[in-house]
Amino acid sequence: MIYSLRMNAAINFVELENRVIAATYRNLMIKAKVVLVDKLSGEQLPDPVTTISAPAPNGWLRIRLTDAVASGTFYLRALNGHGRQVAQSVEFRIA
């Protein structure tokens, strides 16, 4: 019998406090990236970009926003090592 094992990646926004985003992730491998996306334009911001470096596929991360990130509605996007989107968080507002 052959079993197909499909890993469903997830990125979950937890909170935004003092310009630091807290999030959890599931099934993201080393070298996966988490980026911030502007909901209005659909464009990925060049900074901040967080790279998963932990060997465990599940964990949490903190993303410090630079001063260049203006107010607006955003979401987190997780990209695998090949740059393909594998997960997206809920939308959240940066004031």
The domains found in the chain, sorted by start residue, are 10-94 (2.60.40.10)
pLDDT bracket for residue 4 (50, 70, 90) = very low
Once rounded to an integer, what is the mean pLDDT over residues 75-90? 95
Kindly state the percentage of the chain with pLDDT values over 70. Answer: 93
pLDDT, tens digit, for every residue of 32-57? 999 999 999 999 999 999 999 988 89
Name the helix (H) or strand (E) containing 25: strand 20-26
Q: How far apart are CA 4 and CA 32, in angstroms?
A: 22
